[in-house]
């Protein structure tokens, strides 16, 4: 059995042959109980209806709710049933009560996602403060529906009170290193909603390619994309992603990383990047954005004015990571500027100058900003409302970083232990699941500054051929850690529920990879 690896081998050998719990929910709700004498209610597909409850502040005509009803019906009743149930009092409708008006809106960081779901004989009531909470409750309801040996759909009587632990529960996709077709992004948004993720962090451009089609600077994608005809996200594509995400209660936060990670920008924006030198002569290569030119800031202002108008979320991710100072050091004009400013040889100071001006620009456009941790580490003078994204994992240093960031009074996001592009033999979802975002030395006030985290799927070795199985169900481990109570840590229970959820995903057409030995009743691809 050496091939199974050392990771929890006895547990896995035991659980590989055990079925998942019927009607288990992923991520686990905050509170779930079965009332005394709880039974099972049949669900007749032909008669089952979704409806707004009397007095609900949101009712028919709400696109978010109507679209959700249409999505969930085929998910609930995926297989035909030949007859009406012959036992019990059937549940023929799910009533949704929403207390706060508002439908034609976008989700925000402070949006409420709490809900209460009560299943009793003959009725199902889903109540929520907002439409976003109603969406989370509908997903939970869909996972509670089962099918017995006679083909009858049913749901167990239960009461659930649920809300997320953290308001920011994200997934990063990198579309620069490999272009991901629009349908791959939309399919990922579907599965994000199944896992109750609520932020799509779109790392849309980087060194290898610039697939975002800018209306202000069309040459950026024409000259910077892998293929200007087939590997570009048009304005229509971007609108489609934003609306598809909104209907699922998912925010779209774009990342335009500067001043580094910008080599693909150069061909479409002459003069933007820094010319590198060798022995006082231009080498013909380029480095980060040139931080000493007025034209740089005119360009950045115009680009982010467009980005701010296109993407409705309050936040833009500005990157700021891994800035290589080698090219700046080689450039005589930048060295002269450094001397003039009294910066000496500290190139972090010229990076800080650029970042500060960028933050001023984005703030003037009415946007908030997220930056990678190097911006904080390099002691850039940041605005107090900046969100710091912690990503460096080496030797568990991220815990120290989380403590430092929050001690300085900044809100923090955690991604360091959740890089899903890194794979290993065995069940690496377990290590992701065991992470505790607040496990660092700090006061309660510091820990209140942690607003959540993100799973990251970088694209060096990932394209449409392996995106989905590499993501799912592994990302689900992070989804539960960010949604469920901190006490939800039982690996045996998690394995059983995640295995069952993986089977649910297969039934929904998602090519989710197996956790370990076993099978699903409905394997992927079966008719």
Active site residues: 322
Distance between CA 162 and CA 114 in Å, rounded?
6
Taking a C-beta distance cutoff of 8 angstroms, is the pair 471, 421 a contact? no
Token duo for residue 355: 């970042």
Radius of gyration of the chain (CA): 25
- Among residues 337, 346, 243, 360, the alpha carbon closest in space to that of 290 is found at 337
Percent of the chain that is helix, strand, coil (3-state, to 5): 35, 20, 45
Alpha carbon distances (Å) from 483 to 60, 414, 433, 500: 29, 14, 12, 18
Taking a C-beta distance cutoff of 8 angstroms, is the pair 91, 42 a contact? yes
Taking a C-beta distance cutoff of 8 angstroms, is the pair 116, 71 a contact? no
- Among residues 259, 294, 288, the alpha carbon closest in space to that of 274 is found at 288
Distance between CA 51 and CA 27 in Å, rounded?
25
Please tell me the total number of residues recorded for the chain in this structure. 527
CB-based contacts of 198, cutoff 8 Å, min separation 6: 107, 113, 132, 164, 167, 168, 169, 170, 192, 249, 250, 251
């Amino acid at each position: 059995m050496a091939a199974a690896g050392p990771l929890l081998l006895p547990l896995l050998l035991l659980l590989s042959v055990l079925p998942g719990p019927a009607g288990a929910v992923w991520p686990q709700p905050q509170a779930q109980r079965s009332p005394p004498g709880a039974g099972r209610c049949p669900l007749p597909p032909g008669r089952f209806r979704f409806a707004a409850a009397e007095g609900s502040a949101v009712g028919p005509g709400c696109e978010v709710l109507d679209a959700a009803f249409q999505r969930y019906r085929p998910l609930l009743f995926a297989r035909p049933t030949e007859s009406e149930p012959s036992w019990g009092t059937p549940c023929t409708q799910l009533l949704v009560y929403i207390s706060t008006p508002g439908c034609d809106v976008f989700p925000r960081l402070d949006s409420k996602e709490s809900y209460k779901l009560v299943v009793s004989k003959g009725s199902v009531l889903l109540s929520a403060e907002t439409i976003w909470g109603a969406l989370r409750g509908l997903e939970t309801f869909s996972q509670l529906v089962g099918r017995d040996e006679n083909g009858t759909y049913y749901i167990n009587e239960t009461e659930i009170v649920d809300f997320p632990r953290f308001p920011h529960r994200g997934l990063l996709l990198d579309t620069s290193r490999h272009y991901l077709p629009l349908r791959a992004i939309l399919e990922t948004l579907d599965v994000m909603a199944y896992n109750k993720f609520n932020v799509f962090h779109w790392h849309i451009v980087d060194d290898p390619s610039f697939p975002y089609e800018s209306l202000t600077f069309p040459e950026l994608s024409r000259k910077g994309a892998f293929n200007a005809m087939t590997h570009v996200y048009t304005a229509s594509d971007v609108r489609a992603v934003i609306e598809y995400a909104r209907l699922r209660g998912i925010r779209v936060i774009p990342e335009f990383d500067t001043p580094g990670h910008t080599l693909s920008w150069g061909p479409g924006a002459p003069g933007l990047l820094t010319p590198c030198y060798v022995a006082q002569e231009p080498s013909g290569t380029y480095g980060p954005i040139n931080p000493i030119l007025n034209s740089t800031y005119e360009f950045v202002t115009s680009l982010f004015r467009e980005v701010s108008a296109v993407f409705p979320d309050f936040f833009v991710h500005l990157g700021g990571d891994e800035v290589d100072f080698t090219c700046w050091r080689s450039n005589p004009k930048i060295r002269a500027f450094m001397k003039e400013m009294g910066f000496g040889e500290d190139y972090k100071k010229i990076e800080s100058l650029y970042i500060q001006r960028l933050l001023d620009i984005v703030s003037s456009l009415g946007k908030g900003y997220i930056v990678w941790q190097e911006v904080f580490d390099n002691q850039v003078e940041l605005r107090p409302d900046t969100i710091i994204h912690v990503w460096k994992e080496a030797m568990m240093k991220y815990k120290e970083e989380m403590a430092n960031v929050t001690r300085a009074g900044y809100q923090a996001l955690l991604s360091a232990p959740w890089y899903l592009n890194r794979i290993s033999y065995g069940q690496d979802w377990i290590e992701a699941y065991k992470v505790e975002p607040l496990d660092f030395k700090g006061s309660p006030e510091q820990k209140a500054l942690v607003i959540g985290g993100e799973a990251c799927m970088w694209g060096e070795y990932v394209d449409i051929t392996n995106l989905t199985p590499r993501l799912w169900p592994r990302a689900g481990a992070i989804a539960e850690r960010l949604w469920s109570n901190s006490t939800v840590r039982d690996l045996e229970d998690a394995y059983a529920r995640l295995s069952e959820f993986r089977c649910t995903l297969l039934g929904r057409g998602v090519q989710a990879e197996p956790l370990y030995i076993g099978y699903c009743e409905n394997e992927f691809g079966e008719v």
